[in-house]
Amino acid sequence: MHRAALLLILGLFVNACGLPRDPARTSEFIRGAEMRVGVVHNPPWVIDDGERVDGVEARLVSSIAVANGTRIEWVRQPEFELMELLLKREIQLVIGGFEATLPWAKEIAFTRPYITTPDGIGHVLAAPPGENAWLLSIDKILHAQRHSVPPMLAELAR
């Protein structure tokens, strides 16, 4: 039991030492540069009018962009194409109001649900599988923003 406690403490220290890392360095790649985000129109989560992208998730993506000091480039393609691009790490995120239980979960990485709707469905963003530092950083930002989501949802669902 002492060892387990020690490992936890070690983990907390090491957390500050830059672990985990991305095998393909996604986090480093986007910082100060640009972040390519795939969009799938699905109000109120993603509201795409061809020019501007709004919606609960678009706003969350803005927070992520600000936190990383990066520009957003929206990528519009059919959903399955976006997932391919995500797998190949040619884009860094896909938003589409995805539900946590979708079978995509087996192929790509879903974030922790940033909200669970009254019907019990958790909503997630999609990231490239294996880029765990990137995923963790998104999870942290979503977690920090969690209280702002219900008001956003209320506003956009009208």
Instruction: Name the site residues for other proteins (rule: CB under 8 A).
Output: 1, 3-4, 7-8, 11-12, 14-15, 19-23, 105-106, 108-112, 129-132, 135-136, 138-140, 143
Beta carbons within 10 angstroms of residue 58's beta carbon: 21
Round to whole Å and give the CA distance between 68 and 36.
Answer: 13
For the bound state, the minimum distance from the C-beta of residue 54 to other proteins, rounded and expressed in Å, comes to 26
Instruction: Name the residue nearer to other proteins (CB basis): 133 or 153.
Output: 133
User: Which whole-number Å values give the CA distances from 66 to 10, 123, 127, 137, in the listed order?
Assistant: 30, 22, 18, 13
CB-nearer residue toward other proteins: 1 or 52 = 1
The distance of closest approach from Cβ of residue 83 to other proteins in the complex, given in angstroms and rounded to an integer, is: 14
Is the Cβ of residue 71 or residue 140 nearer to other proteins in the bound state?
140
Q: How far is the CB of 9 from other proteins (least distance, A)?
A: 10
Instruction: Output the smallest distance, CB 11 to other proteins, in A.
Output: 4
Taking the least distance from each CB to other proteins, the nearer of 48 and 110 is 110
- Would you say the C-alpha torsion 95, 100, 104, 105 has a positive or negative sign? positive
- Give the H/E segment covering residue 48: strand 47-48
> Based on the number of CB atoms within 10 Å of its own CB, is 151 exposed (0-12), middle (13-18) or buried (19 or more)?
exposed
